[in-house]
Amino acid sequence: MSADALLEIPAGNQFLNHVGTVHASAQLALAEATSGEFLLHTFSDEPGLLPLVRRMDAKFRKPAIGCIFGKINPATASSEHALEQLRTKGRTLLTILVDIYDEQGSHTLSSSFEWFIAKES
């Protein structure tokens, strides 16, 4: 796995589309899971949370070949404001930017996931 990747999907025929590149749905699934993994790390000290994807946006940039990697885009906003809102209001919104790269280093997908996060009652 790439050093700064949170998650990956290995190369495999089960992930390919009709033209032999990694299927769009596999890339989207990896992007969403990567954003969720980021949430797990960010809010690990906050018990009893219910995170739900509220909105997502994706732009396919190039066909993906082989193994793909999910990375958090450095432009993702700091989670400090979201943590403060969660602690004071019991809920917050956080947008996480995720990029997907393939084993050749090509940037294949740019995406954003807006998460609604609430304390479970």
**What token pair was written down for 105?**
């280093």
| Average pLDDT taken over every residue of the chain | 95
Residue 24 contacts by C-beta under 8 Å, 6 or more apart in sequence? Answer: 17, 60
| In a domain? residue 109 | yes
Residue-wise pLDDT tens digits, 46-81:
899 999 999 999 999 999 999 999 999 999 888 899
Compute the half-sphere exposure of residue 88: CA atoms within 13 Å on the CB side of its CA: 6
Output the furthest CA–CA distance in the chain (Å, rounded). 50
| Beta bridge pairs of residue 55 | 114
| In a domain? residue 81 | yes
| In a domain? residue 87 | yes
Give the pLDDT of residue 77. Answer: 81
Q: Residue 26 is part of which domain span?
A: 7-119
Give the pLDDT of residue 79. Answer: 87
Give the pLDDT of residue 9. Answer: 98
Query: Which amino acid would we find at residue 38?
Result: F
Whole-number Å distance between alpha carbons of 92 and 84:
9
Name the domain count of the chain.
1
Q: What secondary structure letter does DSSP report for 19?
A: T
The model carries a pTM of: 0.93
The CATH number for 36's domain is: 3.10.129.10
Give the pLDDT of residue 4. Answer: 85
| Beta bridge pairs of residue 115 | 53, 94
| In a domain? residue 42 | yes
